[in-house]
């Protein structure tokens, strides 16, 4: 398989195999209207297999979303065909409007203008809880 390199854009690399599509959806990459390549189960010396997302546009990638989906991923900024910046997202302490609270009694169900905010309560298990009702988010 041959996927061309990009001249200016973003490459999200070292995504744990199987998480690339989730990241694609949460970053709303289908709404960009630019070429996006998703490579799944690519060989990796470190992980065995990995996913890669290549975006052929100079955009800003939400590092909180990337860190939530896979804190081991890397975000490479490409300019004139070369990597000019490499970012290593971390597990965010709070997530805003990334997850939706599943509790039907949560205030976010009736007050729809309220943002859905979740806080990290257990870093080891990647557990997030709603700040309004303390419901655990399903990862």
Structure confidence by residue, pLDDT tens digits, 11-62:
999 999 999 999 999 999 988 889 999 999 999 888 899 999 999 999 999 9
* 34 DSSP 8-state letter: S
**Phi and psi dihedrals of 66, rounded to 5?**
-60, -45
Say what the pLDDT of residue 112 is.
85
Handedness of CA 12, 17, 23, 24 (dihedral sign): positive
Domains of the chain as residue ranges with CATH: 9-87 (3.30.70.140), 94-130 (no CATH)
Q: Would you state the structure tokens that stand for residue 96, as one six-digit string? A: 């805003």
Residue identified by tokens 């939706």 is 100
Are the CB atoms for 55 and 23 separated by under 8 Å?
no
> Mind listing the pLDDT tens digit for each residue in 82-113?
999 999 999 999 999 999 999 999 999 889 89
Secondary structure of residue 97 in the 3-state scheme? coil
Say what the pLDDT of residue 5 is.
81
Look at the pTM and tell me if it is higher than 0.85. yes
Give the pLDDT mean for 68-78. 95
Sheet holding 82-87, edge to edge: 36-44, 48-55, 9-16, 74-79, 82-87
């Amino acid at each position: 398989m041959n996927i061309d390199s990009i001249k200016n854009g973003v490459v999200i690399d070292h995504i744990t195999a199987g998480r690339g599509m989730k990241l694609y959806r949460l970053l709303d990459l289908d709404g960009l209207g630019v070429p996006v390549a998703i490579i799944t189960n690519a060989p990796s010396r470190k992980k065995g297999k990995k996913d890669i997302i290549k975006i052929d546009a100079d955009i800003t990638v939400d590092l909180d979303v990337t860190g939530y989906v896979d804190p081991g991923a890397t975000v490479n900024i490409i300019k004139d065909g070369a990597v000019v910046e490499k970012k290593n997202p971390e597990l965010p302490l709070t997530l805003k409007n990334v997850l939706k609270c599943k509790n039907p009694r949560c205030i976010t169900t009736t007050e729809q203008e309220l943002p859905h905010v979740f806080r990290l309560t257990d870093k080891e298990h990647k557990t997030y809880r709603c700040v309004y009702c303390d419901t655990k988010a399903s990862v």
